[in-house]
Each structure stands twice: as C-alpha cells, then as structure tokens.
C-alpha cells in the first residue's frame, strides 16, 4: 500500500490531522493507497502560498509560463505507462480509455501553452477627441480547482493548464476516490521547477476541503467538475464572497435517430457513447429516441453490440470493453435505477445485473418499452444503461429531448442537413453531435446549460474563464 502526500508551497507534506483516507481498486475492492485527510488549516496554507506566488507569476511573460506547461507535457510522456496503470487501478478505466486520457492530458498542456501569444485585448473607439479606450485581459488571480473521479488526470490539465497560462495560481482538490494520479503529477510539476505556490494539491473530504476552498475570500474563481449536488454546495459557499464559479455538472444526453440515418454508423456511435469510461461520463448517451420506421432494425443492431460487450478487470486483458463502476454506492445506484425502470414498465433486452461477486461491475444494459414519464428518462444514471423510446412526430421528439433539467450534450443521426440544422437550433444543450459519438474536442468549448453548469472549458473561451477584463480610458492632448 502506498502513502500519498499533498503538495503545498513547493513541498510534499502530510496533513496536520495525522489521519488517512483509504483508496480502493474498484475492480478488486482492495486498498491500494491512502491519502492524507486534509484540514482547513492545510487549505489556508495552500491559499496563502498561491496568493503570494500569483502576484509575481502575473508579471512573467506568457511565453515563459508556456515553457513550464511544455515541461509538464514532456514529463507526462516520459511516465506515460505509469500514469495509465495508476488510472486503471484507482478508477477502473480500461487500458484503451486510460491511454487516451494520459495522451490527451499531455496534448492539452501543449495546447494551452500555445495560447501564450493569443491572449488578446481590444482598442475601442472613443466618443471624445484625443482619447483611446484600451480593453486588456488580466489573470483573475487564485483558482480553486475541484476535480471529479471520472477523468481525474485530464481535468488537472483542463483546469491548471488554462489557469497557469492565464497568469493564475491554483489549489487543486483531487477526488477522494482517485487522488494518486494528481499527487504523482505534482512530482512532475516539482521537477519542472515551477515556482513554489503556483500549483498546490490538498487531498481529503470534499465536504471539508471543497467547501473551505469555495468559501474562502482568497479565491478569485472556483472551477468544479462534478455532480449537481456538489455544484449547488460550492455555489452556496462561494456566494458569501461573490466568488466567480465555473461549473460542469451532470448530463442526460438525448440521442435522436431519424428514419434516414445510417443505422450501422448510428449503432456503433451510440454504444461507444453509452459504455465509454464504463458509462461514467457526463456527456454519455443517456436516452435513445428511435423513429418508429427504423426502431426494430436499429434495436436489433444495438442488442447484438450490447450483448458482445466484454466486462472485467482492466488488467485481466487488453480487449476489455468495460471495467467496473467506481465504488459500491455507484453500483447500488445503477441497480436501483434499473429496478425502478422495470417496475415502471421497462423491458430488459440485455444486461440489467451485476457481473461477478467481487468488484463493482455492471453489465451493459439495454431497456425497451420506455416512456417519457419514467424516472430512467429524467434522472442521470451514470452507468452503462440505455433506455429506448419510439417516436413518430418531429415536434414531439424535440420536446421530449428538451424535457430535462440537464443541458450538456445531445446528438442526432440523420443524412438530411435541414433536419440536422433544425435540431441544432432547437435542442437546449451546450453541445450537439451530428452523426458521431459523444466526446468533445480540446479546441472547442465544453459547456452546458440548465443544471449542467455555468461557464465552461477548452479552447480560447476556456482560457477566458481565468481572465478578468480591465478597461483604460487614455486621454491625450
């Protein structure tokens, strides 16, 4: 078993509490590490260090900041296999998904480094003679980055990469279930020589560390990826100081299949979008609306694919399609949602049960005979379960798709550009994928509406989350 350490003000430390929290392997249920149970005092030390370091960091030219991000990327690539296995072990990712996450994390740091010469302002025309109005962008200050467990490594880069290139410092709270990848990444930061205080890691309970970060007057923005409940808690804590929040929360992505769709393409994209990361992605396909004319044909193709999904310990074979859910509570939640759907009239075409007696494995599950009023259509499942609803009327299916408190991802399958264009105009979601699987690009902007969040990440708009606007009115003779 490995003892992890926090990283505060350029030093690796244990918590003042002297207490530890176990980290489990969700495939085996074995304790694989323990993390320090951080305290409010640990948070305060990290914040003080971040605040002091940020003032000097803001003066450093962005191209010099970028050099550190490139070192991070190189450090990740040098230890790529190690990080892949850490993520497989503590989160349950398959080898292919863990590889994708590690590779993309390195790419993301390189990508964020490219913004060194692209943080730009404006010159605005004045109404007064001899006056020039200058709009400039400045670092917002100290960032609190609260990470999820489903993409624990990539989200380090998504938050810290944008924050550091913008001239901010950051205090990161890794998910309690998946801290090792973050504490190991801190070693790369340390070896890169990043000035002390700019990057800090405090481990522990979200109810303690997360709320202490969000409620601190020393924080200028709190960026959270997590559940709606976590987002609500963070917003309440941040409200005391009117602190800016950036939230990526839950999703309940609808998939609409039209009668002219390429069914083979749709079937593959749908299953990839449902079982990806063991069904634990906020923009996973969560509910499937199939036109009546192609329902039988597409359901048959999907059933064949769902039945062929190979579930097991990611370390047991490289061809595993799905690993475990992340913890016992996650397994119990999915079991309860499927049982409730059956009670409400859904028919299990395949799956609908736990796999094995050890580890938190759940079978890829396809549910038919579903109706819009069922709970499984409205509540985020966060597991490999896909309910099917048949539709006939275009207006009705759009209304059904939008009948949701979430608004992150959506998708449509059609070969008619007019149909696709109407869906993109009328679907109330931050993202719409047309004839492809659900996964965003780092140069896009990953953001939701409704209860899926506020603000967003990726691309130039993601960097702007960490910038404040300053206007100078320059009067000359």
- Point out the residues that are catalytic: 248, 282
Q: Which token pair is 380?
A: 């985020």
Question: In sequence order, what are the residues at sequence separation of 6 or more whose Cβ sits closer than 8 angstroms to the Cβ of residue 396?
Answer: none
CA dihedral angle for residue 155, residue 247, residue 24, residue 13, rounded to 10 degrees: 70
Question: In sequence order, what are the residues at sequence separation of 6 or more whose Cβ sits closer than 8 angstroms to the Cβ of residue 356?
Answer: none
Question: In sequence order, what are the residues at sequence separation of 6 or more whose Cβ sits closer than 8 angstroms to the Cβ of residue 169?
Answer: 50, 51, 53, 54, 57, 141, 142, 143, 163, 197, 198, 199, 200
User: Reduced to 3 DSSP states, what percent helix, strand and coil does the chain have, rounded to the nearest 5?
Assistant: 40, 25, 35
Q: How far is CA 319 from CA 242, 268, 355, 362, 438, in A?
A: 49, 17, 17, 17, 21
List helix spans (H) across 240-389.
263-275, 295-307, 328-343, 375-378
C-alpha 339/C-alpha 346 separation (Å) is 9
Whether the CB-CB separation of 325 and 336 falls below 8 Å is answered with no
Strands, sheet with 347-350, edge to edge from the N-terminal-most edge strand? 347-350, 365-368, 385-391, 285-291, 253-257, 409-413, 431-434
Question: In sequence order, what are the residues at sequence separation of 6 or more whose Cβ sits closer than 8 angstroms to the Cβ of residue 63?
Answer: 116, 117
The DSSP symbol for 127 reads S
Alpha carbon 253 to chain centroid, angstroms: 15
C-alpha 176/C-alpha 37 separation (Å) is 9
């Amino acid at each position: 078993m490995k003892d992890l350490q926090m990283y505060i003000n350029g030093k690796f430390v244990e918590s003042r509490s002297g207490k530890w929290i176990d980290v489990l392997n969700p495939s085996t249920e074995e304790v694989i590490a323990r993390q320090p149970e951080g305290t409010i005092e640990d948070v305060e030390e990290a914040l003080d260090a971040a605040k002091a370091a940020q003032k000097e960091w803001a003066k450093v030219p962005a191209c010099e900041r970028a050099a550190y991000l490139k070192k991070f990327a190189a450090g990740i690539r040098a230890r790529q296999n190690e990080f892949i296995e850490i993520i497989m072990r503590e989160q349950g990712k398959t080898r292919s998904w863990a590889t994708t996450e590690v590779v993309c994390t390195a790419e993301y740091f390189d990508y964020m480094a490219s913004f060194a010469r692209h943080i730009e302002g404006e010159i605005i025309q004045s109404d007064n003679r001899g006056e020039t109005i200058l709009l400039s962008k400045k670092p917002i200050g100290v960032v609190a980055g609260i990470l999820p467990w489903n993409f624990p490594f990539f989200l380090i880069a998504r938050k810290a990469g944008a924050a550091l290139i913008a001239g901010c410092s950051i205090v990161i709270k890794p998910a309690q279930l998946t801290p090792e990848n973050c504490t190991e990444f801190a070693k790369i930061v340390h070896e890169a020589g990043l000035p002390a205080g700019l990057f800090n890691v405090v481990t522990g309970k979200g109810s303690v560390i997360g709320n202490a970060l969000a409620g601190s007057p020393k924080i200028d923005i709190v960026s959270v990826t997590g559940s709606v409940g976590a987002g609500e808690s963070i917003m309440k804590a941040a409200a005391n100081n009117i602190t800016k929040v950036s939230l990526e929360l839950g999703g309940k992505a609808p998939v609409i299949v039209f009668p002219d769709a390429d069914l083979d393409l749709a079937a593959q994209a749908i299953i990839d979008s449902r079982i990806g990361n063991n069904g634990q992605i906020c923009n996973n396909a969560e509910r499937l609306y199939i036109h009546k004319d192609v329902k039988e044909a597409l359901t048959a193709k999907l059933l064949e694919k769902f039945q062929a999904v190979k579930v097991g310990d990611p370390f047991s074979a490289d061809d595993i399609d799905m690993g475990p859910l992340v913890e016992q509570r996650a397994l119990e939640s999915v079991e309860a949602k499927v049982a409730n759907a059956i009670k409400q009239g859904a028919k299990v075409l395949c799956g609908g049960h736990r796999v094995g007696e050890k580890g938190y494995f759940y079978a890829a599950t396809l549910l038919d005979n579903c109706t819009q009023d069922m709970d499984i259509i409205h509540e985020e499942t966060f597991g490999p379960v896909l309910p099917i609803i048949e539709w006939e009327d275009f207006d009705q299916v759009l209304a059904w798709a939008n009948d949701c408190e979430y608004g992150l991802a959506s998708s449509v399958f059609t070969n008619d550009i007019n149909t696709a264009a109407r869906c993109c105009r009328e679907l109330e979601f931050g993202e719409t994928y047309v004839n492809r699987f659900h996964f965003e690009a780092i140069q896009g902007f990953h953001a939701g509406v409704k209860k899926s969040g506020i603000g967003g990440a990726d691309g130039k708009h993601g960097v702007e989350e960490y910038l404040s606007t300053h206007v100078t009115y320059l009067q000359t003779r």
